Amino acid sequence: MITYTHTELVQRARRWLEGSHKYGNYTCGFVLTEYHSYAPEQPDAIGFRSDKSILIECKVSRADFKADGHKSHRQGRRRLGNERFYMVPAGMVAREETPDGWGLLFVHDKRVTIEVEPPYHSDLEIQAAEHSLFYSLLRRAELRGLIPRLLEPLAGTN
């Protein structure tokens, strides 16, 4: 089994969400990695399409993978991601160990494979958590004076 750092897995998750794979259902137009906000959880990577969001939690050890299920935000309902994956080095965990409600991605030397497809979650708690994340993102952009510069090219277009 190849070992990876957490940072390496997060970068692999970003590239995978941005579309460096053959699964069109998971290609995202906007991806955040390790973005800290007031949202209930701080995902390693989260990508957004026009119709859904895809969260990836990266785990580099079995102990970290096992401990993740005990985190308080995993117990509650207010979570991010219509679809949620764990990304781990290939072979680190068995498919059967994937928690209910999650998918599993294996990182190989040159590719990422979907080992378990995630179910689709859609509820108001996910929307509320994602609104919190986007509010934080936009507020930071506004405080840095970025919003007027972002909107300027759109002025006068319908």
For residue range 92-123, list pLDDT tens digits in order. Answer: 999 999 999 999 999 999 899 999 999 998 88
Contact 74, 49 (CB under 8 A): no
Q: How many CB atoms lie within 10 A of CB 74?
A: 15
pLDDT for 145: 75
Nearest to 139 by CA among 21, 35, 46: 35
Residue 47's beta-bridge partner residues? Answer: 31, 54
Tens digits of pLDDT across the chain (158 residues): 788 999 999 999 999 999 977 777 889 999 999 987 766 678 899 999 989 999 999 999 999 999 887 665 555 555 889 999 999 999 999 999 999 999 999 999 989 999 999 999 888 878 877 778 778 888 877 777 777 776 777 666 65
Give the distance between the most distant pair of CA atoms in the chain.
55
pLDDT for 156: 66
